[in-house]
Structure 1
Amino acid sequence: MSGKDGINVKDFLIGGLIGGIVGSVTALLLAPKSGKELRGDLNEHVEVVKEKGAQWKDVAYEKGIEIGNVAKDKKDALVDSASGFVGVVKDKSGQLYETVSKQTKTVKDTAVAGVEATKQAAQKAGETFKSEAKDVGADVKKAADKSKEEVEEASKTAKDKTEKIVDDAKKELKK
């Protein structure tokens, strides 16, 4: 029963009661009355405070009983609900276990078949790759030989042109 600011109802009621008593006593002590009148007024106020305290005690007791009964009813309802929920969870978990067991077997069988198919496909791909690699190797050798011939020819042409340029340059220098 805490408020937003952390003050509970009990502390508030005690503070209100003490504040009322202090205020009443201060008012009576500062009032211009005779001692007999003052004592009479004090006795009246004390009686009023006692009555209010008794009323607040009774109200708090009744509210406590009401809250206790409501809490007991809610607890009973929650226990009943939880019991039903536990039964449902047991049934569903049993069904789930059976389904998972069946699915696991199916997945295992599929995985085994998949592994075998993958092995066969890998072997076939390896053989195909080997065959094609030989063909590609022969093609690469032919292309390399052709490139070598072209490079030699280009090199010879470049050499001839360079010699011609050098000869022309020598002739020019002699002039």
Structure 2
Amino acid sequence: MDCAHLDEAVAAARSGDGPAFARLWTELSPRVAAYLRAHGVAEADDVTSEVFLAVFRQMAGFEGGGDAFRALVFTVAHRRQVDWHRQRGRRGLWLPLEEAGPDPVVESAESTALGVLSTEGVLEVLATLTPDQRAVLALRVVADLSLEETAAVLGKDVGSVKSLQHRALARLRREISPKPYPRDVLARLKPRHA
């Protein structure tokens, strides 16, 4: 949804238009869920619902356009993921329902393995980042927020956000790209002139 349509949907939702709420949910909820998953929130879909319930309760008093609304949504999402991790720390380990016992209706082993491998791989690479670096990348890439909006969500200045983003991308490049060849291997690959 482009900025103009997002602005229109926010204005209509502010006046109580149900379909406008649905458009906002449809546009932003996948990004919020992805942001939460990137931060290790296991119940990302449930927390996404909580985020939108909290935001939609504030709509009558909300002032601003689409960009301000998106920043509000991700501010609430950021706070909810912090709360989720705090609660999980207090509750201790938990066992997802899928792992609680045999279920007669499950996906094929191949589908499950492929889904786990891709998710685990991404989460493993993201785990090499600091929490602030993960938050910046998730807000900039997944949520598509500007530097200024990201800074507002995280309560940091724009320079700090730029620095965190730069360091996070540099670390991801090092993690994803193959290790460089040792110098002796490179020397053997250079053509020799006689």
TM range (shorter): under 0.3
Look at both structures and tell me which one has the larger radius of gyration over its CA atoms: 1
User: What TM-score results when the alignment is normalised by the length of structure 2?
Assistant: 0.22
Higher RCO, 1 or 2 (CA under 8 Å, sep at least 6)? Answer: 2
The TM-score normalised by the length of structure 1 is 0.23
